[in-house]
Amino acid sequence: MANVKGRSVLVTGGGSGIGLATARRMLEAGARVAIAGRDLPRLERAAAQLAPFQVTVCVGDLSDPEQAKAIIAAAEAGVGPLDILVANAGANLKERTLQELTPQRWQSMLGSNLDAAFHAITAALPGMRTRKRGLIIVINSVAGKRGNPLGGAAYVAAKFGLHGFVIAAAAEEKARGIRFSSIYPGEVNTPILDQRPNPVTDEHRLAILQPDDVAEAVMFIARLPERALVPELVITPASYAFI
């Protein structure tokens, strides 16, 4: 099993939830870590929670291609050329039914869940191509495997698009030594639950996946030797019916 010690890692959506848990795991394993997100105060709180480890904080909106390039540049200035990109940034909204889904809300879901990953990945790829190595771990959702009304049509469409994009990108970049892996979590107790149309109870939050569960899956993939790859990994609550 490979060691992540000394490797350079960028975690997008690193201010909370799965991203924050992943950053902590990577730091504990000896990696050099940058976290990215749109909310500077949230990122600063995350950096304080990660103390005494030092992290590089990169602020910007990954749905904008120029800001995505700036985030990758800032991350590499802080931790060095990227060995691992964890593309975790994503969002949902309360107004997710078709009746509520305006063109603006549709575009915001594509921007947060598909465009952001596209821009982060395509900004990171040139450096990885030059070095002929790199690992890109994409945090998708079971909504990218199984369409259902819970996530809403726009969120499902974006996650299905992300699923297809990663499959195609992995096939293109394989010959350049760049590996892609998608993780599809079921319900996870993260701040995205606050955007559910109906409030989620504390009991329900405790019964579903926790951010550390998904971070452990990320670490499993990151620690694999370069000759090995997990193209896709589905992780759900034990009570979840994956049908």
pLDDT at 149: 85
Q: Is residue 240 part of a domain?
A: no
Range of the domain at 104: 8-235
Q: How high is the pLDDT of residue 198? A: 87
The percentage of the chain sitting over the pLDDT mark of 70, rounded to a whole number, equals 100
Tell whether 243 is covered by a domain.
no
In-domain check, residue 242: no
Task: Give pLDDT tens digits for 122-161.
Answer: 999 999 999 999 999 999 999 999 988 889 999 999 999 9
Question: pLDDT below 50 — which residues of the chain?
Answer: none
Tell me if 34 is assigned to some domain: yes
- Inside any domain, residue 1: no
DSSP string over the chain: ----TT-EEEEETTTSHHHHHHHHHHHHTT-EEEEEES-HHHHHHHHHHTTTS--EEEE--TTSHHHHHHHHHHHHHHH-S-SEEEE------S--STTT--HHHHHHHHIIIIIHHHHHHHHHHHHHHHHT-EEEEEE--GGGTS--TTT-HHHHHHHHHHHHHHHHHHHHHGGGTEEEEEEEE-SB-SGGGGGSSSPPPHHHHHHSB-HHHHHHHHHHHHTS-TT---SEEEE--TT----
- Amino acid 148: pLDDT: 84
CATH no. for residue 166?
3.40.50.720
pLDDT at 1: 62
Q: Does residue 103 lie within any of the structural domains? A: yes
In a domain? residue 132: yes
Q: Reply yes or no on whether 155 is catalytic.
A: yes
- Label each residue of 70-113 as H, E or C: HHHHHHHHHHCCCCEEEECCCCCCCCCCCCCCCHHHHHHHHHHH
Predicted local confidence at residue 154, as pLDDT: 97
Which of 155, 160, 180, 184 is labelled catalytic? 155
* Tokens, residue 131: 């070095």
Decide if 3 is inside a domain.
Answer: no
**In total, how many domains does the chain have?**
1
Structure-block tokens of residue 236: 């759900």
